Amino acid sequence: MSALVDATPEMGEWSVYVGDDSAHLAGTGYYEHVLGGSAPPRHVPRVLWELDLPFRTVADATAPDIGLAVAFAIPVEDAHQILAALNHIFDHPAYQAHIRAHPPGLRIWRAETQMGFIRFYGPVIAAGSRAPWDIHDAVELHHHSLADLRRALLAARARRSH
């Protein structure tokens, strides 16, 4: 049931891959930067790692450069695109099947806006650089936490508009 989902125009620079129990949220321009030396892309997730991870209940990945992080950030101007990407994931049969079998988790995400980014604190799986808030091509997010991530995104947007 896993699949790269066709992006909608509302998703802009972002794309999603939906798996059986998680989804990957990917930006654009990362590989052009890493492989081709172009300017660092803006429309990609930035990841924050910590040595003492609070989300140990989620299985760690096996590769040494993949593991649990504690936060990711997106540009503030991309909030509506990320909301569209999350809504697109919610419509996918793999997400719906997972949620029927495993109800969504409790509130685990919080969001804050800083320096032109919305920072989401919660369980995220990423691969790549461990430098704080460094750019990544994608982040992996478990289905059981996506509804709460959407809630945190909407709350951050509401606070910003006041």
Q: What is the pLDDT along the chain (162 residues), one digit of tens a residue?
A: 567 888 999 999 999 999 999 999 999 999 999 999 899 999 999 999 865 555 544 444 444 455 678 899 999 999 999 999 999 999 999 999 999 999 887 789 999 999 999 999 998 988 888 888 999 999 999 999 999 999 999 999 998 776
Cα gap 110→92, rounded to integer Å: 24
pLDDT at 106: 78
Q: What is the pLDDT of residue 159?
A: 87
- Long-range contacts, 36-41 (Cβ 8 Å, 24+): 40/135, 41/135
Q: What is the pLDDT of residue 65?
A: 52
Q: What long-range pairs does 7-11 form, CB within 8 A, spacing at least 24?
A: 7/85, 7/88, 8/84, 8/88, 10/80, 10/81, 10/84, 11/81, 11/84, 11/85, 11/88
Q: Return the pLDDT at 153.
A: 98
Parse the chain into domains and list their residue ranges: 3-161
Decide: 109 and 148 in contact? Cβ < 8 Å.
yes
pTM, to two decimals: 0.88
Given a contact cutoff of 8 angstroms between Cβ atoms, the answer to whether 43 and 127 are in contact is no
What is the structure's pLDDT at 130? 83
CB burial readout 135-162, b (16+ within 10 A) else e: bbbbbbbbbbbbbbbbebbeebbeeeee
What's 39's DSSP letter?
P
In the prediction, which pLDDT does 107 show?
87
For residue 162, what pLDDT is reported? 63
The 3-state DSSP composition of the chain as helix, strand, coil percent (nearest 5) reads 35, 30, 40
Q: What is the pLDDT of residue 29?
A: 93
Contact residues for 151 (Cβ-Cβ < 8 A; gap 6+)? 107, 109
